[in-house]
Amino acid sequence: MGFIEGMVICFIGGWLNSYLYSNYLRKKNKGWIFWFAIIWIGAVLTLDFLIYINVINAYLFTWFLWIDIPATVNAAEFGRYWMFTPGLMFGVPFELPVTSYTGFVWNIFALFFFISYIWWFTIGQNLGRFMYGRLEYEKGAWYLMRTTKMIKKSKEKLEKKQAQKNK
């Protein structure tokens, strides 16, 4: 994965995290949501970092017919070329007008991109909360269309149900 693809996958992970929270894990164990986020972001970061430092050789991805890494790319820079070229994974490379991806500045750019994965996960999670709701009496985006009076009634009904269960 490149940086752009990693950001998209982190966004999807955040969205999935909200979906799981709203539909399955809200009532059971909220700790799983935290661990899902740690595992998801950690896996994407680890995979991308290993590609970036050439531990996982990006040239192996040319096994897919739509991926083409030009012969002009230095073998030591395959990982960096792969990470900094958006769309390469989908066969639509938007190459940068750069001849070499070595240097301290490229590492700083990569660090900011890696840190942004957490931000993209959070954006996906917040949009998922908007769509699916965060509290039990919220049911997603339609919640915005309800009047305050209707929200209070829904909340009161939920509180009554919980009070009856606790007795």
pLDDT attached to residue 118: 93
146: pLDDT strictly greater than 70: no
* pLDDT tens-place string over residues 7-25: 999 999 999 988 888 777 6
Higher pLDDT, 54 or 147: 54
b/e code 9-26 from CB counts within 10 Å (16+ = b): bbbebbbbbbbbbbeebb
pLDDT attached to residue 38: 93
Tokens of 105: 């500045």
pLDDT attached to residue 56: 86
Residue 103 binned pLDDT confidence (cut-offs 50, 70, 90): confident
**Domain extent listing, the chain:** 3-134
| Alpha carbon of residue 147 to chain centroid | 33
pLDDT attached to residue 114: 92
